[in-house]
Structure 1
Amino acid sequence: MTTEQLKVGEAIIDLLSREYGVDVVFGIPGVHNIELYRGLHRSGVKAISPRHEQGAGFMADGWSIVAGKPGICVLISGPGLTNALTPIAQAYHDSRPMLVIASTTPTDALGKSFGPLHDLPDQAAVARSVCAFSETVTDPTMLPALIERAWNVFTSARPRPVHIAIPMDVLAQTCVPFIRQHIAATKPIAHDRDISRALDIINSSQNPVIIAGGGAIDASREIIALAEKLDAPVLLTGNAKGVMSSAHPLCAGNCLVFGRVQKDIEAADVVIVVGTELSDTDLYNDGRALQFGGNVVRIDIDADQINRRTTPAVGIVGDAAHTMASLTRGIVARNPTTGAQRAAQWRDHARNKTSNTFVPWLQVIEQWLPEDAIVALDSTQLGYSAHWWLPASRSRSWLAPYGFGTLGCALPMAIGAAVAAPDRPVLAIAGDGGWLFTVAEMAAAHDLKSNITMVLWDNSGYEQIR
């Protein structure tokens, strides 16, 4: 009996397809990474080719948001990776899973700096600051454990990109098919003691508020149940838009930027903060840092976040959905009183404060926008107001560069979203400046026959700094 022999590049794709369900990757083929592309053909994995590796990263990020799975980038050595660093950094700052597999220079050239093609002094180090981890692999037997480690980051911790660099000569070596190295990992579960302490505070509150962020993106049911039992209005960060439908009476939407709303948060006797950094981009509008006059119950999967920007009365390290379900079971149910009224007041305030420059356009878009639409926004003035003006009916339908504030992301993210959900309409909104950053991806959208509508906000320059 002969054991099948594969090139290492083929074996990587075979493992990802067979054991991890990978069926699409984003990248541009080249001489250095061609063995990975041979694996794509063999495994039946679809390859999406942008016109620039920056597009590949943004497409993978948009695909990941909508699909709810890690986006996969297959890149060439050196400039292929550096071209993609901006979208990798965006995924890092917005806590989204992305596996970046890139070739690198041959093993005997690593770190030698004698001018090999596409050489970086240390490719893994270049990516390390925007990845959960970044490794160079010269021994292919290390790959199954490293890929499993990456998947554990994606599924049981705060998700962030992972970069694996593989010398082109290693990719071309022969090997037997890889076997998945199962390494048990589970999401942190809230301690019963912390749940009990939080319930004591929450059940004695009079005007609670919930602030939910991207860490709660898959906890829609649990957020709604907690809010309804507590009669608490829910404020959403940009990365959580759609976690509670905009039509729900307790949904205040994306109004955190407004000073009036921030003052009401300060007046609340309890604020439950779940899965958010409370970042500048969620609070910037009136230049006033968020203050808490009452108790804060903070829930996050990342223990390092618990005491940042807040001093919580109770900090709970745990999965958002599991923790909120545990809290809901212990909440003393209340009759609806002021929760919906407060949410409506904040929504109305946001609309009333929106510049008349944007209102007519937002009204037209709102009337046209189908309920199941996916929206991708660039860093553009019309997009900033769209955050709180346009509705979202479901989670994983709203794409924007909240953590990193990149330009040029809307179009390629929309393409990735359309690949993930080809039957849903996709809207991309960009300014004339940002659109030009990645305008070449219009060709990729055409090739893919993507169901995308593009709205271009043309103010003849970088209006934000005029």
Structure 2
Amino acid sequence: MSQTCAQLLLRLLEAYEVDTVFGIPGVHTIELYRALGEGPIRHITPRHEQGAGFMADGYARASGRPAACFIITGPGMTNIATAMGQALADSVPMLVISSVNRRNTLGRGQGRLHELPNQQQTLAGVSVFSHTLHDPAALPEIMARAFAIFRGARPGPVHIEIPIDLFDAPVADNLPRPIEVFPPAPAPAAIARAAEWLSQAERPLLLLGGGCVAAPEAARALVDRLQAPALTTINAKGVLGLDHPLDLGATMSLPAARALAADADIILALGTELGETDYDLVFDEGFHLNGRLIRVDIDPQQLGRNQCADLAMVADASETIAALLQALPERREADGRAVGTRQALALHKDPDLAPYVPLYATLQATLPNAILVGDSTGPVYAGNFLASLPTPRRWFNSATGYGTLGYGLPAALGAALACPEQPVVALVGDGGVQFVLGELGTARDLSYPVAVLIWNNQGYDEIRRYMAMHAVPQLGVDLTAPDFADLASAFNCRYRAVGNPASLGEALAQLGEETSPLLIEVDAAAWMSTLQ
């Protein structure tokens, strides 16, 4: 008894509970589609392979489960590389299965269709690992490696390329049982020392990163036990719930939060890379920790980057929080540092943030359970400071990490596929959305009521203002946007034009009335004028 390599791949995906594949069929991948048509895994066709990667990214962030991408040789892989780079920067699991030319032609430079000199090497830089399959019998082992990383290490994109002459190659008809992976737990001696330091601290501080999103209840219990102010990164938004009194959000780039951090005597950093796009958004290297740093990360290499730890644990953040809760004494006395810092931050009065306060108030009032997926655009930059979410996995964007444009719309579609019971809003700019306008066709095909909120400021306004700040001629930043009303009509989408919070609320309230996507164009100039 035997099966083909392509059939084995689909059976392994099912065994690892992958239920969604994003991809565009090509002549080099049709055998994958023969096998795909035989099983229950659904296939979503984007309009570009970059969109496939962004959709898989949004699916994983919203659900916590990896999706797969089926991508053709050569241009398909270079198209998806940007999406893989964003997922790698933000530790998002993504399984990319690609074809590659026949084994006896690899590296020979014969001008074959879709040929690259070394496709595996090209994609290795945006992968946790990239592997070329030479023996179909080795596929279960390579898949086991991929899911061991997804479940027990710092996740990211995994690339497995299969030569086209192997897709229909016979392989034994036995399916190895998927391995069950438990993430690493902290060393008892390290927990004892950390608990001792934290219990004796006079001014403790918590830094909670995206590694904590799997254990929001435990994270809240730890913050309440320590009664310590907490700075939560952009990817950790919602971990402490809506408006937690000790949650200071992702304000690490602002003077008041930096003063709090510099004054802390013990800092506990859980599942955060302590990187620039969370802690230094003003790019002045002004975030300093003077107290003793306890650092927990599932990636041992990360423990040596950005900030030197006094106590470092290679461990899963959730396991560590659970162990600390057992080791720490009873609840500490409350202090006023969080209240004082919040008053000093005065986010709602900040002139750069204040125009966006009504936007997030309207979203919260109209769609309180929405997943908000952002591109690199002004409202998203502001929302990284302002937005407060009731649970994790409801706020993510490409304004952090790799910082690509074109992410918001396709990633929002991935989130809608992962969580069809929740409303989804894509927050995009008129410049960034033009990278991926074709994905409006995907949105129409899916028939999910996704809101695409387009902040139209006539070009790349963030770069325009940055140029002005540095006395650089404002070249290349003024764009002519398409007529979004006509565009919506062409894609059979609904359309609303708004210019103030009241009209935005009215538009958002219509989201669930039909299943078609809803384009909401916000005239940024009109919005700003109504708030002056």
TM bucket, shorter chain: over 0.9
1:369, CA displacement in angstroms?
Answer: 4.5
TM superposition shift of 1:327: 1.2
Q: Structure 1: any 5+ residue segments left out of the alignment? A: none
Q: How far off is 1:373 after superposition?
A: 0.8
User: Residues 410, 354 of structure 1: CA spacing in aligned structure 2 closer, same or farther, 3 A cutoff?
Assistant: farther
Are the aligned partners of 2:280 and 2:287 in contact in 1 as well (CA < 8 Å)?
no
Please say which of residues 98-107 and 173-182 is displaced more in the overlay: 173-182
Whether contact under 8 Å (1:28, 1:49) holds in the other structure is yes
* Partner amino acid, structure 2, of 1:377: G
Instruction: Confirm or deny: 8 A CA contact 1:145 1:181 kept in the other structure.
Output: no
Quickly say closer, same or farther: Cα 1:426–1:364, change in 2 above 3 A.
Answer: same
Measured after TM superposition, the shift of residue 284 of structure 1 is 2.9
Q: Match for residue 165 of structure 1?
A: 161
Residue 342 of structure 1 deviates from its aligned partner by 4.5
Letter of the aligned partner of 1:303 in structure 2? P
1:108 alignment partner in structure 2: 104
Aligned to 1:10: 7
C-alpha distance after superposition, 1:354-384 (max 9, x if no partner) = 5267336525543544221101010111210
The alignment partner of 1:42 has SS state of coil
- 3-state DSSP of counterpart to 1:147: helix
Q: Distance in 2 between matches of 1:331 and 1:342?
A: 26
Give the equivalent residue in structure 2 for 1:440: 438
The question of 1:191 aligning with 2:192 is answered no
- C-alpha spacing 1:298/1:64, structure 2 compared with 1 (3 Å): same
Report the AA paired with residue 246 of structure 1.
L
Which amino acid is the alignment partner of residue 98 of structure 1? Answer: M
Deviates more, 1:236-245 or 1:253-262: 253-262
C-alpha separation between the residues in 2 aligned to 1:177 and 1:439?
Answer: 43
Could you say which residue in structure 2 is the equivalent of 1:398? 395
Choose from 205, 208, 213 the match for 1:217.
Answer: 213
Q: What is the alpha-carbon distance in structure 2 between the residues aligned to residue 354 and residue 318 of structure 1?
A: 41
The change in CA–CA distance for 1:59 and 1:171 in structure 2 (over 3 A counts) is: same
Answer yes or no: is the 8 Å Cα contact 2:257–2:341 preserved in 1: no
CA distance in 2, matches of 1:379, 1:285: 13
Structure 1 residue aligned with 2:286: 289
Written as runs of structure 1 = structure 2, the 5 A alignment for 1:182-331 is: 182=178, 185-286=181-282, 287-331=284-328
Within 2, Cα distance between the matches of 1:212 and 1:343? 17
Question: Is this contact kept in 2: 1:358–1:385, CA < 8 A?
Answer: no
Q: 1:424 to 1:315 in 2, by over 3 A?
A: same
Contact 2:296 2:317 in 1 (8 A): yes
Coordinate RMSD, CA, aligned: 1.7
User: Which residue number in structure 2 is paired with residue 34 of structure 1?
Assistant: 30
Q: Structure 1 residues 103, 285: CA separation in 2 closer, same or farther (over 3 Å shift)?
A: closer
| 2:83 matched residue in structure 1 | 87
- Secondary structure of 1:383's match? helix
Equivalent residue letter for 2:95? L
- Find the aligned partners of 2:196 and 2:176 in 1 and give their Cα distance: 45
Which residue number in structure 2 is paired with residue 56 of structure 1?
Answer: 52
2-side partners of 1:456 and 1:275: how far apart?
A: 33
User: TM-score if structure 1 supplies the norm length?
Assistant: 0.95
Consecutive aligned runs of 4 or more in structure 1 exceeding 6 Å deviation: none
* Structure 1 counterpart of 2:352: 355
Alignment correspondent of 2:343: 345
Question: Quick check: 245-254 or 182-191, which moved more?
Answer: 182-191
Other-structure match for 2:92: 96
Structure 1 residue 211 displacement after superposition:
0.9
Alignment counterpart, residue 43 of structure 2, candidates 8, 22, 47: 47
Tell me the distance in 1 between the aligned counterparts of 2:156 and 2:32: 23
Q: Partner amino acid for 1:36?
A: L
How far apart, CA to CA, are the structure 2 residues paired with 1:160 and 1:28? 22
Post-superposition offset of 1:10: 2.0
- Once residues 285 and 24 of structure 1 are traced to their aligned partners in structure 2, the CA distance between those partners, rounded to angstroms, is 35
What's 1:179 paired with?
175
- Which residue is 1:21 aligned to? 17
Query: What secondary structure sits across from 2:273 in the alignment?
Result: coil
- Counterpart residue identity of residue 448, structure 1: L
Shift of 1:11: 1.9
**Matched letter for residue 309 of structure 1:** N
Amino acid at match of 2:461: E
* 2:96 and 2:158 in contact (8 A); partners too: yes
Choose between structure 1 and 2 for higher RCO, CA contacts under 8 A separated by at least 6 residues. Answer: 1
The whole-number CA distance in structure 1 between the counterparts of 2:242 and 2:340 is 14
Secondary structure of 1:73's aligned partner = strand
Q: Is residue 269–residue 293 contact of structure 2 (8 Å, CA) maintained in 1?
A: yes
Gap regions ≥5 residues in structure 2: 465-532
Secondary structure, counterpart of 2:131 in structure 1: strand
| 2:141 counterpart of 1:149 | no
**8 Å contact kept, 2:430–2:456:** yes
Matching residue's letter, 2:405: L
- Judged with a 3 Å threshold, the aligned counterparts in structure 2 of structure 1 residues 447 and 327 are, in CA distance, closer, same or farther, namely same
> Is the contact between residue 237 and residue 392 of structure 2 (CA under 8 Å) also seen in structure 1?
yes
Deviation at 1:111, TM superposition (A): 1.0
Aligned-partner Cα distance in 2 for 1:208–1:76: 51
Letter in 2 for 1:264: L
Does the 8 Å CA contact 2:86/2:402 hold for their aligned counterparts? yes
Deviation of 1:250 (Å): 1.8
Letter in 2 for 1:289: G
Q: How far is 1:338 from its partner?
A: 2.4
Contact 1:306 1:312 survives alignment (8 Å): yes
Name the CA shift for 1:261/1:419 in 2 (closer, same or farther; >3 Å): same
Provide the residue aligned with 2:450 in structure 1: 452
**SS where residue 169 of structure 1 aligns?**
coil
| Amino acid in structure 1 at the alignment position of 2:335 | T
Percent same amino acid among aligned pairs?
38
CA deviation digits over 1:333-355, x for unaligned, max 9?
21333265246436x52332252
1:105 Cα deviation (Å)?
0.9
CA deviation string 1:129-170 (max 9, x = no partner): 111111111210010100011000100011111100001111
Paired residues of 2:347 and 2:354 also in contact (CA < 8 A): no
Q: What's 1:431 paired with? A: 429
Counterpart of 1:75 in structure 2 is 71
Give the CA deviation at 1:277.
Answer: 1.1
Deviation per residue, 1:211-235 (Å, 9 max, x gap):
1111111121221111001101221
Shift in Å, 1:308 = 1.6
Aligned CA distance change for structure 1 residues 230 and 142 (closer, same or farther; 3 Å): same
Q: 1:356 to 1:65 in 2, by over 3 A?
A: closer
Structure 1 CA distance for aligned equivalents of residues 248 and 45 of structure 2 = 39
